Amino acid sequence: MATPTLNLEHLAGQRLMVGFEGINLNRDLRFLIDTLKVGGIILFAYNLSAPAEIKDLCASMQQYAALCGLPPLFIAIDQEGGQVARLKEPFTQFPGNPAMTGPQDADHFARVTAKELNDLGLNMNMAPVLDVAPEDTDSIMAGRSFGTTPDWVATMGSRVIKGLQQAGIMAVAKHFPGIGRTTVDSHFDLPFLDIGLEQMVATDLRPFASAIADQVTGVMLSHVRYPQIDPDWPASLSIIIARDLLRKQMGYQGLVMTDDLDMGAIRQYFDMRTAIQRLLQADIDLALVCHKGPDIETAYETILQKLTDNPDLKRRGEASVQRILKFKQKYIKI
């Protein structure tokens, strides 16, 4: 992949991973690519049809990005298995992380899933879930977590990460720094988890430390507020959690991304411009805006404005896009 020359508009667009409506390269999708110059597209059930049509969609997106002189696109999907699996039959259906009984199950899931994603032209899986769901908590993640103990979650997550990435699919560990103890769904409201960093290091953070050691491509931040760590901001907008804890203290050098900024935990409390300014300051590489609407353009325009007006954010933005391009170079073969 030849590295294109990137101006400020490219630097802004590459920081966005967005959703769209439709099953083909329609007008909206072309606008996202040619005008907003987005770095990635995430697919949901309403974008998916027959396997041949999904493959054609992915190929047409990459061809159009190349025609526009852009780097190849991250094309992502949530394919955890079980409760969260966008690809339905005829694709392989797995019972989900809680049903896995040993590393051989994780290896099988990763191998089969990677092949199916590769065959379609997808290159990133928003998995594995590394949240630990304690037995004594009515966890929102009980149906999606590998289990109740940090070591087990770390072991299983590690196998999934290695299996996906060895087969050419970028893995994204989620939801940092851990939402297994929460009982409120961040799709609808802003949860909080009132425990200290020391307790999280001993439990919730251990699977993520393992993922970092395994060189996981991406880490997705949660829309949860941890008041003993950052009293003001959820993890997805937190300099303390994203930059200081994840990058500096834990040494993570891969891609950091938000969860969907359209979710209720963010939309009800923060406007898009504020959210974007925060994530730029926190060295978060990718903003996920997963639904069609004006927020995608607002996010792009805000990034562009901040990079234009603030030399420090421009310097940080250039470093972020270099990380993005490094992983595109490594994983995306067009």
Q: Which residues are catalytic?
A: 187, 259
Q: Which two tokens stand for residue 307?
A: 């990079």
- Spatial neighbors of 89 by CB under 8 A, at least 6 apart, are none
C-alpha span between 303 and 114 (Å, rounded):
33
C-alpha span between 279 and 267 (Å, rounded):
15
What do you get for the CA distance between the two ends of the chain, in Å? 8
| Coil, strand or helix at 53 | helix
Q: Which two tokens stand for residue 133?
A: 């769901």
Residue 202: Cβ-neighbour burial (10 angstroms; 0-12, 13-18, 19+): exposed
Q: Which two tokens stand for residue 155?
A: 């072991």
C-alpha span between 97 and 61 (Å, rounded):
31
Give the dihedral sign, CA 23/24/27/28.
Answer: positive
